[in-house]
Structure 1
Amino acid sequence: MKEGDATSMLYVAHRPALVRYATRIVGSREAAEDIVQDAFIRFSPANAHGTSAGQTLAYLYRIVRNLCLDLIKRQKIEMRERDTEPPFWSVPRAIETPEEAVLVCDEVRVVRDVLDGLPRDVRIAVEMHRFGGHTLEDVAAHLGISVATAHRHVRAALVQIALRLDDFET
């Protein structure tokens, strides 16, 4: 029997248990099925060469566990991003008096001045993410930078805008 056949048979024999194991961790059978499928793709016979079936099975369980934890971590990050409210200055509001209209125009002018003073990539990142509704991944791809750098650009610009608006109000 070939080594690849043995590991495939080991996977097939333990697949239901792996799915149950992943379901307990992630709380969704559908996600668990996907994780176990992905685990098998990552599970290569080369890694199991010369090891016992118990070690190979433990390795497969470890892959499933790590993929489950990665999924949970990714879901938490997505929830955190979804739960954040947009900055107060980017939400349209009703203008009730002419004085308020002037104040809003002044605040918009302050934001425009801050954006004009930013480096080109930072300005584009903020405009795409906050005003264009693009994801950080879209911004990073457009600018040819990493997602983390795109996030830093947006965060730094928003901090500058918030500080300048705070100075403007006082």
Structure 2
Amino acid sequence: MTFRSAASGLHAITSRVDGDEADLAQDACLKLVEASHTQVIHTPAHLLYRLARNLVIDRLRNRAVSKRIFQQDDAHVQHASANADPERALLASERLHRALQLIDTMPARRRQALLLHRIDGMSYLEIARTMGISVKTVEKHLSAAILELTEKMHAYDIDR
């Protein structure tokens, strides 16, 4: 199988995601090449199409989650009280700024795992594959990150 011979099938699968067809096709091809380094692949076309389909599903799922989040934010902004307490808004802004500072000071791998999970919405398995580590290590990174963030934010709140 050559990648050229699989192009029409890849296009048919990835065309469901407007604007990202080429990126998804390339990602699927890269994943196939990576998989071929660790195992013998008897039906590469089948695996390539499955990888592409899974990438399309992930991308559509991520878009749906993002859309829900931003729609909720928009709805919240539209219904915000005209007499919203400026002090509470300032405190929330300060807490957010502090949390971002704390995340920036985390060890690189811990920070990466946290951001992939909380911001990109990746599963533990997806994070493990992206970072080249085991799922157990992802769990350790995330639990350490959340514990660190919780403890330091609590200490920050007490100091104020």
Q: Calculate the TM-score normalised by the size of structure 1.
A: 0.48
Amino acid corresponding to residue 61 of structure 1 in structure 2: Y
Query: 1:69, CA displacement in angstroms?
Result: 0.7
Aligned partner (choices 58, 64, 74) of residue 62 of structure 2: 74
Contact 1:48–1:56 under 8 Å retained in 2: no
Q: Distance in 2 between matches of 1:27 and 1:62?
A: 16
Change (3 A) 1:22 1:81: same
Q: Cα RMSD between the aligned structures?
A: 4.0
The alpha-carbon distance between structure 1 residues 60 and 112, as it changes in their structure 2 partners (threshold 3 A), is closer
Q: CA separation of 1:19/1:112 partners in 2, compared to 1, >3 Å: closer, same or farther?
A: closer
Whole-angstrom distance in 2 between the partners of 1:48 and 1:31: 28
Instruction: Give the Å deviation of 1:13.
Output: 1.0
Matches within 5 A, 1:90-169: 91=80, 93=82, 104=83, 107-108=85-86, 111=88, 115=91, 124-125=95-96, 141-142=103-104, 144=106, 146-147=114-115, 148=118
Q: Which residue of 1 aligns with 2:14?
A: 22
Are positions 1:36 and 2:28 aligned together? no
Aligned CA distance change for structure 1 residues 72 and 112 (closer, same or farther; 3 Å): closer
For structure 2, list consecutive stretches of 5 or more residues without a partner in the other structure.
119-145, 151-160
TM-score scaled to structure 2, two decimals?
0.50
| Residue 64 of structure 1: aligned partner | 52
| Distance of aligned partners of 1:15 and 1:139 in 2 relative to their CA distance in 1, 3 Å threshold | farther
Contact 2:17–2:60 (8 Å) recurs in 1: no
**TM-aligned CA deviation for residue 124 of structure 1:** 2.0
Name the residue aligned to 2:141: none
Aligned-pair distance for 1:70?
0.8
Aligned residue in 2 for 1:97:
none
Q: Offset of 1:80 from its aligned partner?
A: 1.1
Shift, 1:46, TM fit = 2.4
Structure 1: runs of 5+ lacking an equivalent: 1-6, 94-103, 129-135, 154-170
SS at match of 1:12: coil
Confirm or deny: 8 A CA contact 1:35 1:67 kept in the other structure. yes
Percent identity (aligned): 13
